[in-house]
Amino acid sequence: MLPAKTAVILHAIDQNLITTDMTPPRFLTKSGGKTFNRIDIEIPTSDGKTIPARAYQPIGEGPFPMIMYYHGGAFMEGYGSIDTHDNVARSLAIQTKSVVVSVGYRVAPKYVFPTAIEDSYDALVWTAKHARQFSGDPMTMAVAGDSAGGNIATVVSAMSRDRNGPVLKAQVLYYPLTTFQDLELPTREMYDSGYYLLSRQVMHKARDSYTPYQSMWTNPYTSPLNAQDLTNLPPAFIITAEFDPLRDEGEAYAERLYEFGVPVETVRYQGTMHGFISFYEVMYKGKHGMQESTQFLKKAFADEIEPAPFAIRVVNVPKGTEKVRDQIEAYAIAGFLLSQKYLPFKLIYI
């Protein structure tokens, strides 16, 4: 019932055929010259500690726009890091020609709310202060993140508003978690088995680990969907996926932003699952979503975002020749993944 490529990737993840350090087959990627420098750094936090971060600095003469990237991973140790999301941060840097700082905020169970968001806000403030160190422009900044990182990105936007922090041009949220409360959201029931990458079990574990006290669930810095005030937040670009338990809350949050006068563009990708942007190198929809979000960022940096009536733009599954191509690539990916696991040697694609 799923598009071929989505089904192949989901099955490969389920069977542990895809690992975080795997690179895509060469027949699906393009080579090119070096366009940025990657720099591992340590950022001081307000409690006297430091957190790891990774800066992607375009080669050339700045100043460049700056994007803070907050990785997904259920707010928990072992589910996500700046390493697992290196490809997304790298692509944002290349496509927008911006300095991207990917933040290694501290996670549960050792560190509960609000450590992750305080780390993330501290990183924003520190980066704005040291922008010239990376040839960046502190007056042209945005935040972005996926899943739990999408939650953090929009929360950091609110924190910066509330604390008179750096002014942000935009927020890009990939399938964000927007509420910890037990609301009636149909997609949480429809797609929570875990087959579509994100399970109810993981969601409950994340909530218990990151927000161990129920009083935390109503905080606007954990559940922005239920916040009383969403005014004066930066323009938002929100991507959701059809087969995602977080789809309804992401789209509901987009509508609430619009109701508070925030320019918002919302795109739902049919035939895709939670986390699909991370597979942009092998999934057309992931590549399309990455391109759409980077175009939004470019417009935001140029102050070209115009308010528009609220709508959810739907990108449908491939048809015709595009569907055939997608199926052929799906079988090619399947063959590649199987070869990596079962053959005693590595196939080389040229």
Backbone angles phi, psi at 271, to 5 degrees: 75, 10
For the question of residue 147 being annotated catalytic, the response is yes
Task: Compute the distance between CA of residue 175 and CA of residue 239 in angstroms, rounded to an integer.
Answer: 6
For the question of residue 274 being annotated catalytic, the response is yes
Place of tokens 């589910």: 79
Give the pairing of strands 99-103 and 64-70.
Answer: parallel
Q: H helices of the chain, where?
A: 4-14, 86-96, 115-129, 148-162, 186-190, 200-210, 247-259, 284-301, 320-342
Out of 274, 278, 293, 326, the active site residue is 274
Out of 137, 192, 244, 248, the active site residue is 244
User: Cα-Cα-Cα-Cα dihedral of 17, 279, 127, 121, to 10°?
Assistant: -80
DSSP 294-333: HHHHHHHHTT--------EEEEPPP-HHHHHHHHHHHHHH
Is residue 51 within 8 Å of residue 123, measured between CB atoms? yes
Q: What is the number of alpha carbons within 13 Å of residue 246 lying toward its C-beta?
A: 36
For the question of residue 83 being annotated catalytic, the response is no
Out of 147, 160, 223, 278, the active site residue is 147
Q: Which residue, among 211, 156, 150, 161, has the nearest Cα to 181 in the 3D structure? A: 211
| Residues known to be catalytic | 147, 244, 274
